[in-house]
Amino acid sequence: MGTQLAAHQDPARTMPGELENGDLGGLENIADLGSLGDLEDFTDVGTLENVGDLGSVGGLEDVGGREGIGGVTTLENIGDLRSIGGRESAGDLGEVIEIRPARMDDEERIRCFLAGLSTRTQTQRFFTGVNRPSASMVRALLTVDERRDALLAVRGELLVGHAMSYRGEGTDIEIAVVVGDEWQGRGVGARLVRRLLHRASVGGARTLGMDVLGDNRKVLAMIRRAWPEATMKVSSGTVQVAATTLL
């Protein structure tokens, strides 16, 4: 599932294969998305007052404290999750994955994790490559405070996934998620999101925003299944998702 587009054009956010002529990430026809459901009204943004503000969040820049928020790379079977507990098996392989809050002593883990992501996964999450993340970006990805939350999926000392949220002035939050390439498709992303949204709900959040690259059809379809009421708006190569419920 993720979140944000700049109102101004940021070179760091420029993506290969941006949308042209309203084309969704190279798809010749929006109908090709099939399982996304009804996307007829791409100008409707639901109950969020200003989805344009969600779009102003830069993936790698500090805009109003939102540094680090970018896109969503993977969400697997989010509707099938029965637990948001801290420890349980992931997928059908039985690996034990722990979901826990990020800490500042996770800096080296997050650096190694980001460097190990494929270029495609980096781009889906940050809209650019991040093989050498800045110190400020690393701190932003690990910060937990009154507006920001960050969760890690770890197996022992190995970091396999990261999710974060940013709380706006009202009851809306923006989220971004990334899972290591070899761990995608095992339910890690769904567990991160469910735990993140549960924590946000306890804190009073009610509405949700995400940004997904237009060619990430798998995630868009899963979002449609998990949030059938969500609205989607195509803008500058991404799909801005606005949902009026969290869970």
pLDDT of residue 13: 32
Sheet order of strands, 148-155 included: 87-90, 95-101, 148-155, 158-167, 172-179, 207-213, 238-243, 231-235
Burial 116-126 (b: 16+ CB within 10 A, else e): bbeeebbbbbb
Q: Looking at residues 214-232, what average pLDDT do you find? A: 93
User: Would you identify the CATH topology of the domain 35-81+100-243?
Assistant: Aminopeptidase (3.40.630)
pTM of the entire predicted model? 0.68
The domains of the chain are located at 35-81+100-243
Whether residue 239 is predicted with pLDDT greater than 90 in this model: the reply is: yes
> Is-contact 235 57, C-beta < 8 A?
no
> Is-contact 186 237, C-beta < 8 A?
no
pLDDT of residue 247: 80
One-letter amino acid identity for 133?
P
Using one digit for the tens of pLDDT, what is the confidence trace for 16-42? Answer: 333 233 333 332 332 333 333 333 332
Using one digit for the tens of pLDDT, what is the confidence trace for 72-119? Answer: 666 654 544 334 444 444 444 446 999 999 999 999 999 999 999 999
